[in-house]
Chains A and B, each alone.
Chain A
Amino acid sequence: MDIPSRLRLVFVCVLLGACTAAPTPQPLAVARIGYGGSPDTLNPGTAVLTEAYTMFALVYDSMYTYNLDGTYSLSLAESVDRSADGLSYTYKIRSGIKFHDGQPLTARDVAFTYNLNKAHAEYPYMNPYTAYMESITAPDDTTVLIRLNAAIPNIESQLVFQYVLPAHVWQAHADGAAAVEFENETLIGSGPFKLLEYKQGEFVRLGANKQHFSRPPKVDEVIFQTFSNPDALVQAISTGQVDMITELPNTAAEKLGQTQNVKVASAAPFAPAVSDIIFNQATSESCPSEAACNGNVALQDRQVRLALAHATNKQQLIDVVLLGKGTPGLTLIPNGLGMWFNDSLKDYEYDPAKANKILDDAGYLTYEGDIRCAAVDCVYGSPQMNFRMYWPSDSVDAPRMAELLAGMWQEIGVGLQPQAIDPDALTALCCPAFDFDIMLWGWGSDPDPNLLLNVMRTESIATGSSETGYSNARYDALYDQQVVELDQTKRKDLVWEMQRVVHEDVVYIIPYYDMQVQALRTDRFTGWIVDQPKLDLSDVSSLVNITPVK
């Protein structure tokens, strides 16, 4: 090559920048998560689905963090002072926090958010969290002052899910219908992840906020992809199309656990949940106006419910229905609620002979065929103990449970008429209509026990929150005490006593507490948190912890 040619080559190289050894760009570390749903909306005020709240927890910050060990820690606030009467809280907000669009997050944004939630009764979940708040003000950029109308023991649970919104974005949508119609498509928050792309019903793509004040993620992106059936989810993780799945059928757990590079983890669910066998105990006295209240009268008798409890083999239910992925249930407050769960109660042991004796002793001695008469003084035309048992048709576990219960209870002369019903139609039959005998359903709840305890109050019968129609004045009095008891130990004693009362009255049979079962790939990312009392691999704690496998 002659000199001019070389010069020409150098010239072209300089122009194009192509002759220097350009550094190879690092591929982005993208964690792909498969799940079964999709956010219903990105507006935290109007959202109701769990999938939406998963996104909010990743994209927003709130005053507290709810940890995988069931405790709370301060998040946006660096300190809190409670007044002696428990009626006012002063939070000091950290300085230097920024929203994803670069605007600073101040105490005024916090106060704006709480006031927004308080102003909108049509925010189904956020508004009740402000029920005890009389006023929320921000005297300066780092101070939030909350005044309550009653001293409550659980301010953390009232604030932990109230995600702090940017006032500069929401101000224009804060009033009237605009607050519920605002689609919030940019989802600007201050959390460890920020929204990059969203297609309702398809996927949510989040980018890392590496400047997050406390939990900067180590990955670059997290993508949540919707799969509309569980078989596809299982197949997606076994073939490496996703790195983690948030749910899987228990039947697939064993096989999936044997798949190369796939680990199946199980523990108590992060969000407390409970399954229950519900007895309609609504009487003519407690029946709300316009309600049917046509439950089988035998279920109003505690001895009948007690006999059913003794005739229920919970271990068999766990082994068959959950394939072992559960623990025996005891009270409506699940073990996932930590200290609030009364584990000192002794469960009714499985003993069909004892169950038969209880019914015999109670006077239910007349049979028609194999089924007992539902009345002690049985006459022609008296109802039988042949109960209508309903469950929501989207339940995977309930059909098997109903079949097993039918077999177990047959041994004590109790028959069942099992029927799956559309969830919405079942809600209409349930409460406050009380148009059923027995239902198999369950509850999701907050980390604080208050919401689940409320379900069994007399006041809840008319509002539709009570699904049993149970009414007990002592229980109601205990509820009123615990709701204002500021001493946590004393409150725990009250909550435990309430569980003892309903356990003795056999208001429900709690068959089991099912475990959260999730699966992850070990060949793509490490650091998934699987050793805590609770499990949620799509929680912030896990997702900010994972790193790509080298």
Chain B
Amino acid sequence: MQAGRLLLRKAWSALLTIGFVLVLNFFLFRVLPGDPARAGIKDPRMTRAAQAAIHARFGLDKPVLNCLASLNPLRRGPCLVSPLQTQFFIYINNLLHGELGISFHTKIPVGELLRARLWNTAVLLSAGQTLAIVLGVAGGVLAAWQAHTRIDYAALLTSLVAWSMPTFWLGLILLFWGSRYAGLPIGGQLTPGLAGASTGAQLRDAARHLVLPTLAQTIIYLAEYLLIMRSTMLDVLAEDYILTAKAKGLSTFQVLKDHALRNAALPIITIVALNLGFTVAGAIQIEAVFSWPGLGQAIFESVARRDYPVLQGAFLLLAVSVIAANLLADLLYTWLDPRVHAAP
């Protein structure tokens, strides 16, 4: 009963946050200076008449809200227009009908574009995150168990170096190394023109494309997981019940698995859940280095082009992912640590 109420409270709070994000998303991008009709392109052929026609096509000729023609520059507009003829209410109305609009830049429906990009990002992230979690947790446990030995120092040093490396720099180093010495592809997710090849050949090609970006991502995230796991594990291993477990004659593996790991897992679960939420935005830098057509790249390009529909859709997706990941972390926490129930 108490768990049900907690769940309802969390879900309600998540919904409110999403509502707030919906409104913020609309105004956030319109506050930026610039004009989607020109999209940062300076060309004498782009006449004023053409810009006006594009504004009308994008619906930007309508006031942002009643009494407000535009946000940047801030201009007053007519107050007596029907709210349904303002950009804000058209946006809300479309969202309620499940329409995210058409990309100003590519003219592709935003839902379709985000779906494709999200899938690409998910493919990229799932391999990297899985490896990073498995290796990071295992490495952290090992380092803590062998605390203050050469193994621990080596793990600590490697993690700190990996964590300190700028992502794009590491990506570029891997790009040079991988293409020159390992013959690995460095751009995209499949070799163009392979559509007619067998499924096996396509899978092999996709796997080869994944190696370098996955490696980059694994190195960056592994360090974070390893350091947190090691630190939490060290705390847990100093507890009396670990001493008791050892005194009972349990094997090292049993002590670590059954007594230490489960108690040390809580912070890792939180970090993993939060990371998963945030990484939906796409590992922008990794995607940029390896020309990976993911969500991060889409957001980056859309900011430059003032592609409001894509930005609104992508930020909504990002917000929903982070909120959902938070909710998931909360629920997992509640399940793993019954003391959380007792919290008001």
Instruction: List residues of chain A with CB under 8 Å of any chain B CB.
Output: 30, 32, 34, 40-41, 43, 46, 48-49, 120-125, 127-128, 177, 180-181, 183, 197, 199-203, 205, 221, 223, 225-229, 231-232, 235-236, 238-239, 241, 392, 394, 422-425, 427-429, 441-446, 451-452, 454-455, 463-465
Which residues in chain B, 294-341, are within 8 Å of chain A measured between CB atoms? 297-298, 301, 304-306
Q: Complex Cα distance A197/B41, Å?
A: 27
State how many angstroms separate the Cβ of B301 from the closest Cβ of chain A.
8
Would you call A235 and B179 a contact (CB within 8 A)?
Answer: yes
Main secondary structure of the interface of A (DSSP, over half): mixed
For residue A120, which residues in chain B have a CB less than 8 angstroms away from its CB?
Answer: 53
Q: What 10 new A-B contacts, CB under 8 Å, besides A228-B287, A238-B180, A428-B34?
A: A40-B105, A121-B50, A121-B53, A124-B53, A125-B45, A229-B288, A239-B183, A392-B40, A427-B38, A463-B48
Chain B residues in 8 Å Cβ range of A236: 179, 186-187
> Is the pair A239, B289 in contact by a Cβ cutoff of 8 Å?
no
Complex interface: chain B residues within 8 A of A238 (CB): 180
Q: How far is the CA of A205 from the CA of B193 in the complex (A)?
A: 7
Q: Which of A201, A203, A394, A446 has the most chain B CB atoms closer than 10 A to its own CB?
A: A201
Can you list 28 A-B contacts (CB < 8 A)? A40-B107, A48-B39, A122-B53, A124-B50, A124-B54, A125-B43, A183-B108, A197-B192, A197-B195, A199-B192, A201-B293, A202-B293, A221-B193, A225-B187, A228-B287, A232-B290, A232-B291, A235-B179, A235-B180, A394-B304, A422-B32, A423-B41, A424-B35, A424-B39, A424-B40, A444-B42, A463-B47, A465-B44
Instruction: Give the residues from 164 to 194 in chain B that come closer than 8 angstroms, CB to CB, to chain A.
Output: 172, 175-176, 179-180, 183, 185-189, 192-193
User: Cβ of B9: which chain A residues have Cβ within 8 Å of it?
Assistant: none
Which chain A positions have C-beta within 8 A of B54?
122, 124
Instruction: List chain A residues, Cβ under 8 A from B298.
Output: 201
B31 nearest CB across to chain A (Å):
11
**Residue pair A425, B34 in contact (C-beta under 8 Å):** yes
CB-based A-B contact count at 8 angstroms:
172
Which residues in A have their C-beta under 8 angstroms from that of B115?
A: none
Closest to B50 in A: A124
CB-based contact B34/A225 at 8 Å: no
Determine if B107 and A183 form an interchain contact, defined as CB atoms under 8 angstroms apart.
Answer: yes
CB of B212, distance to nearest CB on chain A (Å): 11
Contact present for A452 and B39 (CB under 8 Å): no
Contact B44 A229 (CB under 8 A): no
Q: Determine whether B102 belongs to the interface, using a CB cutoff of 8 Å to chain A.
A: yes
Q: Is B106 at the interface (CB under 8 A from chain A)?
A: yes
Shortest Cβ gap from B192 to chain A (Å): 4
Contacts of B179 in A (CB 8 A): 235-236, 239, 241
Q: Is residue B33 within 8 Å, beta carbon to beta carbon, of the partner chain? A: yes
For the complex of A and B, the 7 pairs showing the least CB-CB separation, nearest first, are A424-B34, A423-B40, A122-B53, A203-B192, A124-B50, A425-B33, A121-B53
Contacts of A392 in B (CB 8 A): 40
Q: Which residue of B lies closest to A30 (CB)?
A: B193
Residues of chain B lying within 8 A (CB to CB) of residue A225: 187-188, 192
Contact between A427 and B188 (Cβ–Cβ < 8 Å)? no
**B contact residues around A32 at 8 Å (CB):** 192
The distance in angstroms between the C-alpha atoms of A299 and B275, with both chains bound, is 52
A455 engages B44 (CB within 8 Å): yes
Measured between C-beta atoms, what is the minimum distance from B187 to chain A in Å? 5
Taking CB atoms, residues of chain B closer than 8 Å to A49 are: 41
Question: Chain B residue with minimal CB distance to A181?
Answer: B107
Residue B49 CB within 8 A of the other chain: yes
B:191-210 near A, CB below 8 Å? 192-193, 195
Contacts of B73 in A (CB 8 A): 428
- Give, as a whole number of angstroms, the nearest-CB distance from B52 to chain A: 8
Does A197 contact B193, Cβ atoms closer than 8 Å? yes
Q: Quick one: closest B residue to A441, CB to CB? A: B42
Of A200, A444, A463, chain B has the most CB atoms within 10 Å of the CB of A200
A66 to chain B, nearest CB (A): 15
Assembled-state Cα–Cα distance A232/B105 (Å): 25
Cα distance, A180 to B104, chains bound together (Å): 11
Q: Which residues of A contact B37 (CB under 8 A)?
A: 124
Contacts of A48 in B (CB 8 A): 39, 41, 43, 46
Q: Which residue of B lies closest to A425 (CB)?
A: B33
The chain B residue with its CB closest to the CB of A239 is B179
How many angstroms between the C-alpha atoms of A43 and B195 in the bound complex? 24
Residues from chain A with Cβ under 8 Å of B43 in the complex: 48, 125, 443-445
For residue B154, CB closer than 8 A to chain A, the reply is: no
How far apart are B193's CB and chain A's nearest CB, in angstroms? Answer: 5
CA gap between A82 and B22 in the complex, in Å: 59
Specify the chain A residue showing the minimal Cβ separation from B290.
Answer: A232
Contact between B45 and A124, CB atoms less than 8 A apart: yes
Which residue in chain A gives the minimum CB-CB distance to B107?
A41
**Contact partners of A231 in chain B: CB under 8 A:** 172, 175
Determine whether B23 belongs to the interface, using a CB cutoff of 8 Å to chain A.
Answer: no
Residues of chain A within 8 A of B297, CB atoms compared: 201, 228
Which of A205, A225, A238, A239: most chain B CB closer than 10 A? A239
Identify the closest chain A residue to B102 (Cβ).
A181
| B76 within 8 A of partner (CB) | no
Chain A, Cβ-Cβ closest to B301:
A201
Min Cβ gap A233→B in Å is: 9
CB of B57 closer than 8 Å to a CB of A: yes
Contact indicator B175/A228 (Cβ below 8 Å): no
CA distance A293 to B241 in the complex (A): 75
Most chain B CB within 10 A, of A120, A423, A443, A454, is at A423
Contact B192 A43 (CB under 8 A): no
Q: How far is the CA of A217 from the CA of B81 in the complex (A)?
A: 58
Q: Distance (Å) between the CB of B221 and the closest chain A CB?
A: 21
B105-132 toward A: CB 8 Å interface, digit per residue (1/0)? 1111000000000000000000000000
- Cβ A442 vs Cβ B42 within 8 A: yes
A residues in contact with B193, CB < 8 Å:
30, 197, 203, 205, 221, 223
Q: State in angstroms the CA–CA spacing of A180 and B43 once bound together.
A: 20
Q: Determine whether B8 belongs to the interface, using a CB cutoff of 8 Å to chain A.
A: no
Across the interface, do A232 and B289 meet the contact criterion of CB distance under 8 Å? yes
B188 touches A203 (CB 8 A): yes
Question: Assuming the A-B contacts A122-B56, A205-B192, A428-B35, are A235 and B186 also in contact, with contact meaning beta carbons closer than 8 angstroms in the complex?
Answer: yes
Please name all residues of chain A whose beta carbon is closer than 8 Å to the beta carbon of B42 when the two chains form the complex: 423, 427, 441-444
Q: How far is the CA of A286 from the CA of B290 in the complex (A)?
A: 49
- In the complex the two chains form, is B107's CB within 8 Å of A46's CB? yes
Contact between B293 and A34 (Cβ–Cβ < 8 Å)? no
**How distant is the Cα of A289 from the Cα of B193 in the complex, in angstroms?**
54
A302 to B204 Cα, complex, angstroms: 66
Closest to B45 in A: A125
